[in-house]
Chain A
């Protein structure tokens, strides 16, 4: 545990954040004094704070969690420690006062949150300058304003254009305080499968930013019955009107009926349909309205820069290794979502548990992901080297992570032959609020990433919305949960209600949407 250097070499002078209207300039009078001593003090304070944040968020927790009281041996604790902003000491809460008394050091950083504690206030202070650095560290991982550094990395999708939260707030600031995007959508007759997908789009920050910043202006679009225009109108109505009544998605519906997507002919009926299929339909439709015009073929490495590609698309790489000659073939393809089969795991569980506890065993999302993107399977393939069919091992991993990861848990299994009946798998699948996708990337195959906390953090996703199918396969109903800030809401057609995290996590999810943390 090397001590932080006392005076980090910095060619530039650190600046205090410029005053903003409606915000105090400093977190408290004492921070004010700290920043008004001289430039050198300001420089060291800010440099130290950055270093402390790095040590908290980018290293093994062992470092910030180890306190070294002045007169005894180092001690590692689970509960928060306090890192002195003015010297390299790390202290327990008990020793903090002593240290302050002895050294006249007044500011300490909480090792769990990175928040600054002011000893004179005896309270955490949320100073705008420090807070900006802390939020950037938690978000993008860097202290600079953009993610440039990451853009060169093919592991990550490029930042969606106009992502800046400031941009969005300035663009919507004229709207009423009441217009917050929280409205139900009326069921137009077995259309709840559409409503849940529309809600998940409406509360997807990337799509919201796109439409609210006039990414596709319905007033400028010539295409008749354009679904992207219908989305634009819907976003405007949700985020700019004070209306709290349910929304009637008439234009979406007629766009849907008019669309001539052959692949989705099945979908277009007056009957209840599969929400996942509607998601695919809507994504493809919006890609065609906003994108390069090419069909988003699966199986190819289609790169398009439209809003749908920016939001949902990632890349998978499957590596096939010939068991005979050891030759390796890589194939890359784009994906809109990850479809995770539940059937195999359910059966395995069933066997394991047969005789013992009855009832459906539960699984976890990570188990399902392990099965698909860590484990390999056997297959036959035509090897170029051997010039013949050979046994091979195939392994699939994620090559590029999308900004919004959508996951389908294949709850509906279609048994070919046997009366062509579809069945629903009701096994609960536990899913987390935070999901680390690093283990499923091909980066994780490459080298030792175990201790790369920075990389792991940049592969962290937060749960954004959950689509749930309740009831029987043919007669069921869809509801969804979406998160707005820290609050969860349940959307049941026209009705919006508050939801607890436990409601969300207890739901038998069908579709899951996760957003990469650096965008939130």
Chain B
């Protein structure tokens, strides 16, 4: 089977020790061949991506020259000219390569927007300074940097001042010379530092900080929308048989995961009426009408749809709600206590909220990879918002990290 003239396989990296028997040598040589194959396959893949991108670039460039040179006013028509570059020839609507595009073409143009592609990330691992004079395609290489996402974004912690007084927070922030994220909102924050947005509740149309949205909907919709009390009563009468699995006998024990106690649902969402929280500045989905939708006709409709909801999201709040939000804090605590009382499982120590509800627990599991930062609420800073921020800081719902 083997025809190796050398000591091992084709890669020549995995070599049997001297004096090894022939079976040993064969094994090493097989392994060495497999290593070669892995490298070969990887290389072919990278080669294909790169060479095809360069070939396309050569084609795009020569086509551009051809359409510039043609007198025809219709841009789509195949111009009747012959153009030649170092890399390609344009002739009769066809592009013919000259030589190997890996040698003739150095940059890569985006096949979509025809702008050059940025070839290195702008930050983190493998970053290189980009040439500011060039307008690049908007698709950038993804960033790999601890504490940041693929776009080089990071988030202000939603509430480090949690439980603290507003004044404390202000004091803490004031002497901070560095562009402290949070101070006064988005203006002083670097553009890649984001904060948690708010969203509009579909029912009451109030604007709720995203981290509280589920709790809010639980109380706002949960009650009337789903006849929670009826369901709860039914469940209790079912004696905790967890009727939820009826749909599927395959339903795994997982159905009960997180709700080992039969009436957990009944216990939770009802009393959280105080949850409404008015927040401003939905900077999550700024839905810029300029942005393009796959289909123009859909575009108009959808954009209208969304900008409506957004305007609600950014609608001015009124003071009443603020007051409400304030008083809600104590309410929330009470509810939680109640929950753990009802719970048949692990009577939780007072500090921890019931099972998995609070992302605070997640914080424990995922020791935050990012140092806590002083924070602000939504981007568009105003005094009012800061007020709210400190108010919200007393709540228990903060997203992980």
A interface with B by C-beta (< 8 Å) = 19, 21-29, 32, 75-80, 110, 112-113, 115, 121, 123-124, 126, 171-180, 182, 184, 186-192, 212, 214, 217-219, 225, 233, 236-237, 239-248, 250-251, 253-254, 257-260, 262-274, 276-277, 280, 284, 298-299, 335, 339, 408, 410-415, 419-422, 470-477, 486-487, 489, 492-498
Cβ contact within 8 Å between A218 and B214: no
Would you mind naming 5 contact pairs between A and B with Cβ atoms under 8 Å apart? A244-B153, A266-B244, A268-B222, A284-B247, A299-B249
Instruction: Decide: B294 and A212 in contact? CB cutoff 8 A.
Output: yes
Pair A269/B48 contact, Cβ less than 8 Å: no
B251 x A25 contact (CB < 8 A) = no
Residues of B bordering A, CB below 8 Å: 1, 3, 9-10, 30, 33-34, 36-37, 40-41, 44-45, 47-48, 51-52, 55-56, 58-60, 63, 88, 93-102, 110-113, 137-139, 142, 144, 149-151, 153, 155, 194, 196-197, 199-203, 210-215, 217-218, 221-222, 225-226, 231, 235, 240, 242-262, 264-265, 268-269, 272, 282-288, 291-296, 298, 301-302, 305-306, 345-346, 354-359, 361-362, 364-366, 397, 399-401
Residue with the highest number of chain B CB atoms closer than 10 Å, among A121, A422, A471, A493: A422
Q: Say whether A494 contacts B60, CB under 8 Å.
A: no
Cβ–Cβ < 8 Å partners of B150 in chain A: 182, 489, 496-498
Whose C-beta in chain B lies nearest to the C-beta of A421? Answer: B260
**Besides A175-B293, A192-B362, A266-B244, 6 other CB < 8 A contacts?**
A112-B44, A121-B100, A174-B293, A254-B201, A414-B252, A497-B149
Q: How far is the CA of A442 from the CA of B202 in the complex (A)?
A: 48
Contact B356 A274 (CB under 8 A): no
Are the C-beta atoms of B291 and A25 separated by less than 8 Å?
no
Give the CA-CA distance A277 to B222 in the complex, in Å: 19
Minimum C-beta distance from A398 to chain B (A): 14
| B3 and A273 within 8 A (CB) | no
Bound-state CA distance A151–B321 (Å) is 59
CB distance from A194 to the nearest CB of B (A): 9
Q: B98 touching A253 by the CB < 8 A rule?
A: no
Q: Which 4 A-B pairs have the closest CB atoms?
A: A414-B253, A272-B356, A266-B244, A263-B247
Given known contacts A76-B1, A190-B356, A241 and B287 CB-to-CB distance under 8 angstroms? yes
Structural contact, B44 and A110, CB atoms closer than 8 A: yes
Across the interface, do B97 and A177 meet the contact criterion of CB distance under 8 Å? no
User: Considering only CB atoms, which chain A residue lies closest to B259 in the complex?
Assistant: A266
A276 & B149 in contact (Cβ 8 Å cutoff): no
| B293 and A254 within 8 A (CB) | no
What chain A residues lie within 8 Å of B354 (beta carbons)? 271
Q: Which residue of B lies closest to A272 (CB)?
A: B356
A475 close to B355 (CB less than 8 A): yes
A477 & B362 in contact (Cβ 8 Å cutoff): yes
* B285 near A237: Cβ-Cβ < 8 Å: yes
- Whether A251 pairs with B63 at a CB distance below 8 angstroms is no
Chain B residues with CB under 8 Å of A186's CB are 196-197, 210-211, 284, 399
Residues of B within 8 A of A191 (CB): 214
Complex Cα spacing A364 to B269, Å: 40
A397–B235 CA distance with the chains assembled, in angstroms? 36
Closest Cβ neighbor of B11 among chain A residues? A79
CB pair B258 A273 closer than 8 Å? yes
Chain A residues contacting B225 (CB-CB under 8 Å) are 257-258
By the criterion CB–CB under 8 Å, are B217 and A494 in contact? no
Q: How far is the CA of A351 from the CA of B85 in the complex (A)?
A: 72
| A26–B96 CB distance below 8 A | yes
Could you say which residues of chain B place their CB within 8 Å of the CB of A79?
9-10, 33, 36-37, 40
